[in-house]
Amino acid sequence: MSSSWPQVGAIARRSVVRTARQPASFIPPIVFPIALMTVNAAGLQASTELPGFPTDSFLAFALAVPFIQGALFSTMNAGTDLARDIQTGFINRLSLTALRDWALLLGQISGVVVLGVVQAIFYLLVGIASGVHFESGPAGIAVLLVYAAIVSLAFGALGAWLAFRTGSGEAIQALFPVLFVFLFISSMNTPRDLIDVQWFQTAATLNPVSYMIELVRSLIIEGWNVQALALGFGFTIVIGVVSIALASRALRTRMTRT
Amino acid sequence: MEEPANGIEVLGLVREYKKGPRAVDGIDITVAPGEIYGFLGPNGAGKSTTVHVLTTLLPPTSGTARVGGYDVVKEGPKVRSLIGVALQEAALDPLLTGRDHLRLQATLQGVRKDRRKVQADELLIRVGLEDAGDRKVSGYSGGMKRRLDLALALVHMPRILFLDEPTTGLDPQSRTALWEEVARLRREEGVTVFLTTQYLEEADVLADRVGIIDQGRIVAEGTPAELKAEIGRPSVHAIPRTDKDRPRIAEFLSRFGEPLATTRDVAVRLREGLGLTDIVRAVDANGVDIVDLELKAPSLDDVFLAKTGRTLEGAAEESEAEPTRRP
């Protein structure tokens, strides 16, 4: 196995280099979530007046969203890139080398993780520059970055599964609105206990994305909330494990070499 | 029987697609170590499918294939470690440079870290891309992509090289350069080359032996000289002054041999014992009006025609009209 680590590194490096060389694939995932957050923070500041709202800064409340939204964007880009490799035959080129299946998957996901952490650092800097105070302190910021890596890994594996399964970049792009629905029907703009519409509250409670956002949010505005951390890490790890299992299986089918 | 170290041995190979015809229909091939084997046939004949099976990308439906002594089904990783492959579609990443590709390929093939840069530099020089190595592949011409593809296939110094239609779409200069490199690899490094092509000239110039495949079956095999000798007799081609003279000239020439299906001229395969002078005399004596008269030695296209009843060009057109066999 040790000889496969350079392969993992080479695939991850390619993934990062590819992204760095196409600004259209890394600028929107960074800029769009920040833009959305800025608009929301300006328009929904009044929400903080609601009784029971956990903070008096909507910006601090909303800063959690870009972390998850950015990871979703990256998932789509990573999946689309991988699907393009399948469509162009690049995957055949890789299949003809001594590359192991797991090294391809791990390398690909590692590339997504690197980009996910870079994105997270950018969101953090934007938050700090905007005057957001992190209640959990430097240790919380470290946990946040670790969590950003795990979210990117989970969503990266999901993107890889979709790519190996469909082999079509268009099919992956078509799933983008579905992922967005998950984001919007969550606690992204309002704490769950303050959602007045019953069906929305139920949907947000069943939606794992709510717990991902609440983990990040708890580190920013609450400090150390063990329940939020456990739920957030728990759901993300489950999604990651399931996605990796599905992606590994789809990869074996896709790389049909003997 | 002892397995050839660098050779290829194929017995009764069949590859069938779901709901489709047999792309490869029971072929036998033996390629000796250090030999250049030309696999000639029109589009859709089964060439690429055969390459995909021999390079472990597709399992065969039945039959056996050994590459470098290893079974392509049971010993895929060992086969892959021995071979270099340039597939028909030069699948390159447009965002990576030539050097990025070589570095990636060298790492994936397990080339030692201290050798990777040297190897990349050497290969870029060898395929004439030393000045373009740091440019993104999106700016490469078709010929440059093919040359980079060949360099990638050579990164780990393979003993057996599979080239699937390596010169399709290349200009004559790039084609000749690639032929020279392939010939050099065999001559200086003893590399065995399995080369598919739909160009007769390519098979004729490069290959030690040629297998002609049509509709998944090998219809002829041997050295180019042996195959042409099977046909034996040359053909005579006359160019009529106008199209309306064609039938008259065709009837006239039919006295000297059996007509050949051609599009640009009127041609017959000469009967035994006749030569060009016999026809020239008859043309003069009968006052037949033709622009030019040419004697042609048998070509591999003649071999294909003799074996299949179609010209290679015509078979390609048929196949394009009904493209069902490609993997």
Q: Please say if the pLDDT value at position B324 is more than 60.
A: no
Residue A134 has pLDDT above 90, yes or no: yes
User: What percentage of chain A reaches a pLDDT higher than 90?
Assistant: 56
Confidence of residue B319 (pLDDT cuts 50, 70, 90): low
Q: What DSSP line would sit under B245-268, residue for residue?
A: GHHHHHHHHTTTEEEE--SSSEEE
Interface residue B76 vs chain A (CB under 8 A): yes
Contact A93 B100 (CB under 8 A): no
Q: Which residue of A has its CA nearest to B93?
A: A90
Decide if pLDDT at B3 tops 60: no
pTM of the model: 0.81
pLDDT at residue A23 greater than cutoff 90: no
Nearest-Cα distance to chain B for A97, in Å, is 5
Place of tokens 């490069």: B206
| pLDDT reported for residue B279 | 86
Question: Is pLDDT of A85 > 60?
Answer: yes
B318 compared with B255, residue with greater pLDDT: B255
Q: Which residue in A has a C-alpha nearest to residue B70's C-alpha? A: A258
Inter-chain touch A98–B81, beta carbons under 8 Å: yes
> Edge-to-edge, what's the strand order for the sheet holding B235-240?
B257-260, B266-270, B235-240, B290-296
pLDDT of residue B85 exceeding 90, the answer is yes
Q: Residue B238 above 80 pLDDT?
A: yes
Domain ranges of chain B: 8-228, 233-297
CB contact under 8 A, B95 and A10: no
- Per the structure block, which two tokens stand in for A127? 């938050």
**Average pLDDT of span B177-186:** 91
3-class DSSP state for residue B142? helix
CA distance A150 to A158: 12
- Contact criterion met (CB below 8 Å) for A236 and A154: yes
Chain B partners of A88 at a C-beta cutoff of 8 Å?
89, 91
Across the interface, of A22, A88, A94, the residue whose CB is closest to B108 is A94
Domain spanning B8-228: which CATH class is it, in words?
alpha beta
pLDDT at A258: 63
Q: Is the pLDDT of residue A29 over 60?
A: yes
Binning pLDDT at 50, 70 and 90, where does residue B318 land?
Answer: low
Sheet holding B36-40, edge to edge: B83-86, B160-164, B192-197, B36-40, B209-214, B217-222
Cα A57 from Cα A49, distance rounded (Å): 10
Task: Tell me which chain B residue has its CA closest to the CA of residue A10.
Answer: B104
Collect all residues with Cβ–Cβ distance below 8 Å to A25 and sequence separation of at least 6: A18, A19, A77, A81
Q: Which residues contact A217 (CB under 8 A, 6 or more apart)?
A: A54, A61, A63, A64, A228
Q: State percent of chain B over pLDDT 90.
A: 50
Q: Are A103 and A11 in contact (CB under 8 A)?
A: yes
Quote the Cα angle for B240-B245-B246, to 5°. Answer: 75
**Cβ neighbours of B55 in A, within 8 Å:** 96
Decide if pLDDT at B1 tops 60.
no
Alpha helix ranges (H) inside chain A: 5-20, 23-43, 58-62, 64-88, 90-95, 101-129, 137-166, 169-174, 176-184, 198-206, 208-221, 226-254
Residue numbers of the domain that contains A178: 2-254
- Put simply, whether B80 touches A (Cβ < 8 Å) is yes
Q: What is the dihedral of CA A80, A86, A89, A93, to 10 degrees?
A: 100
Residue B206 has pLDDT above 80, yes or no: yes
Cβ burial A97-106 (10 Å sphere, 16+ → b, else e): bbbbebbbbb
Q: Are strands B160-164 and B192-197 parallel, antiparallel or unpaired?
A: parallel
Report CB contact under 8 Å: A93, B91: yes
pLDDT in tens, A179-200: 889 999 999 999 999 998 999 9
Spatial contact of B12 and B62, defined as CB atoms under 8 Å apart: yes
Complex prediction ipTM:
0.83
Gyration radius (Cα) of chain A, Å: 19
Asked whether the CA dihedral B40, B42, B44, B48 is positive or negative, the reply is positive
**Domain covering B233-297, topology:** Alpha-Beta Plaits (3.30.70)
Q: Chain-centre distance of CA B264, in angstroms?
A: 24
Q: Which residues of A touch B (CB under 8 A)?
A: 3, 6-7, 9-11, 13-14, 17-18, 21-22, 85, 88-90, 92-99, 256-258
What's the average model confidence in pLDDT over B53-81? Answer: 94
Work out the minimum CA distance from A224 to partner chain B, whole angstroms. Answer: 43
Both tokens of B246, joined, read 């064609």
Give the gap in angstroms from C-alpha A77 to the nearest C-alpha of chain B: 15
Those residues whose C-beta lies under 8 Å from the C-beta of residue B277, and which sit 6 or more positions away, are none
Cα–Cα distance, A258 to B47 (Å, whole number)? 19
Instruction: Output the six-digit token pair for B214.
Output: 């049509």
Give the residue on A whose Cα is nearest the Cα of B149.
Answer: A93
Tally of structural domains, chain A: 1
Q: Which of residues 109-168 of B touch A (CB under 8 A)?
A: 109-110, 113, 136, 152
Q: Is the dihedral angle over the CA atoms B187, B188, B190, B191 positive or is it negative?
A: negative
Whether residue B81 contacts residue B56, with contact meaning beta carbons closer than 8 Å, is answered with no
Closest approach of A86 to chain B, Cα-based (Å): 10
Cβ neighbours around A75 below 10 Å, total: 28
The residues pairing with B14 across neighbouring beta strands, listed in sequence order, are B25, B62
Nearest residue of chain A to residue B94 (CA atoms): A18
**Number of residues that this document lists for chain B:** 327
pLDDT at B326 over 50: no
Do A58 and A45 form a contact (C-beta atoms < 8 A)?
Answer: yes
Q: What pLDDT score was predicted for residue B53?
A: 95
B73 interaction partners in chain A (CB closer than 8 Å): 258
Give the span between the Cα atoms of B126 and B123, in whole angstroms: 5
Task: Check B93 against A6: CB less than 8 A apart.
Answer: no
* Residue whose structure tokens are 């650092």: A121
How far is it, in rounded angstroms, from Cα A199 to Cα A192?
11
B277 burial (CB, 10 Å; 0-12 / 13-18 / 19+) is exposed
pLDDT of amino acid B317:
56
